Amino acid sequence: MFSTPRFATSRRLTPTDGQARPEHILDPAIRKGIGRLMSNDRTLVKLALDFKTIPEAELGNLADALAQNSQLTALHLTGIQIANGGAVRLAAGLARNTCLRELNLFSNDIGTTGIEALAKAATDHPTLTSLDLGDNQIGPLGAHALAGMLLNNKRLLTLELRLNQLGSSGAQTLFGALARNESLLTLALDKTDLDGRCTQALASSLACNRCLASLSLSGNALGDEGVMIIAEGLKANRHLRALNLVNVDLADLGAGALAEVLEHHPTLETLGLSYGRIGDEGAVALARALRRNTSLSALYLDNNPIRCAGAEALATSLAQSNIHLLQLSLNADRMAASDEQCHIALALERNRGLLNCRQPASSVEYRKALQKYRQALRGDLAGDARAQVQLELEKLMQQADKLADPSQAIKLFPHLPPP
């Protein structure tokens, strides 16, 4: 958290002073930025004054200039500690603005009063699509104001609220609005003091929402019970593409519930489960789901106590059934042997190569995929296993020109021998 700067003691400009002039501003970067904003400079589409010390009068000038400007699309004011007073002034300018698309107010010590003003201004804003209010002082009352914004706003696509103190009561209000929202694509709630008490509201929201594509909940104490409830909501969801559950105290039961979701979810592409308590049981359940899943491309399981049995199950699923996963992170130092690492790496390399041969009769691209796969084998397999795979690869290279349907390539690639 940054310390709050002391505002200048100079008198705030009033309407009788006429239009604010850039020469009143002392900091060169601020003077230049606000001067261009006031002049409606057509080349100024993004203004970043991050970590600047902006006195109170200058912040008022900035808000006034924002109200008049018709060119700026992105305003970044990270870490300048505008607090409630500055947020209210900025909200007044935002309410009159008609062109801004992105507003970043991360780490500004904004509390309930400022959040309420900003939420009101953003509700009917004609162009705003991204709002970052992370690392402020947003509690349940602020969350209530933002919920009202989500209920009525039809344009906002991204809302960042990480590192706030929403608590479960504030989150429940927010999730209730999310269920009815028709525009938001990305919602970040990392480290916002959520726990299992708000997960039922989230599950209901996910079941109803038809637009949210990315949800980040890392650093919240959801536990297995909370994740299992969320998983129930995901079973009815058909739109989420990325889910971040890193460091949420997730263990085998929660992983098993998510595995059930993966077996049927049609759109989920990225799943983050790092820094949890998932062991071999949870990994085996996820591996079983990967045999049927056709959408997931990235699975993060690092910093979980997964050992050989879990890694072997994942390796087998990848080698024999799954051609879609492109990235899988595991803790290499937790595995007793390196074979599982080798098999997983080879299978992922195969899948990446197969991305290049999605069109029927693309023998050239298939040959390239085989070449990449063969290159990945250098020194990774030893003895008879390596010789056998190399022999099979040579046969496959001869068959490349005859391939009519690359979707069947998984059947032609050599299955990796079990660890």
Does 330 reside within a domain? yes
Does 410 reside within a domain? no
Highest mean pLDDT among 270-274, 358-362, 403-407 belongs to 270-274
- Total domains present in the chain: 1
Does 398 reside within a domain? no
Does 409 reside within a domain? no
Lowest mean pLDDT among 12-26, 60-74, 193-207: 12-26
Q: Rounded to an integer, what distance in angstroms lies between the CA atom of residue 388 and that of residue 332?
A: 26
pLDDT given for residue 411 in this prediction? 45
Closest alpha carbon to 187 in 195, 179, 342, 22? 179
Does 21 reside within a domain? no
230-256: per-residue pLDDT in tens? 999 999 999 999 999 999 999 999 999
Q: Residue 267: how many CB atoms within 10 A of its CB?
A: 13
> Is the pLDDT at 229 greater than 60, yes or no?
yes
> Is the pLDDT at 384 greater than 80, yes or no?
no
Q: Rounded to an integer, what distance in angstroms lies between the CA atom of residue 219 and that of residue 214?
A: 16
308 and 341 Cβ atoms separated by less than 8 Å: no
> Is the pLDDT at 370 greater than 90, yes or no?
no
112-169: per-residue pLDDT in tens? 999 999 999 999 999 999 999 999 999 999 999 999 999 999 999 999 999 999 988 9
Q: Residue 375: how many CB atoms within 10 A of its CB?
A: 10
pLDDT given for residue 301 in this prediction? 94
Does 302 reside within a domain? yes
> Is the pLDDT at 275 greater than 50, yes or no?
yes
Does 384 reside within a domain? no
Highest mean pLDDT among 61-75, 365-379, 383-397 belongs to 61-75
Does 8 reside within a domain? no
pLDDT given for residue 300 in this prediction? 94
Model confidence at 2, pLDDT cuts 50, 70, 90, reads very low
pLDDT given for residue 401 in this prediction? 47
Percent of the chain with pLDDT over 90: 63
- 0.85 exceeded by the pTM? no
| 292: CATH | 3.80.10.10
330-346: per-residue pLDDT in tens? 874 455 445 667 677 76
Q: Rounded to an integer, what distance in angstroms lies between the CA atom of residue 338 and that of residue 61?
A: 62
> Is the pLDDT at 210 greater than 60, yes or no?
yes
343 and 419 Cβ atoms separated by less than 8 Å: yes
53-103: per-residue pLDDT in tens? 888 888 999 999 999 999 999 999 999 999 999 999 999 999 999 999 999
b/e per residue, 189-213, with b = 16+ CB within 10 A?
bbbbbbbbebbbbbbbbbeebeebb
Higher-pLDDT residue of 289 and 319 is 289
103-112: per-residue pLDDT in tens? 999 999 999 9
Task: Please give the residue range of the domain that contains residue 157.
Answer: 45-360
Tokens linked to 304 = 């979980």
Model confidence at 19, pLDDT cuts 50, 70, 90, reads very low
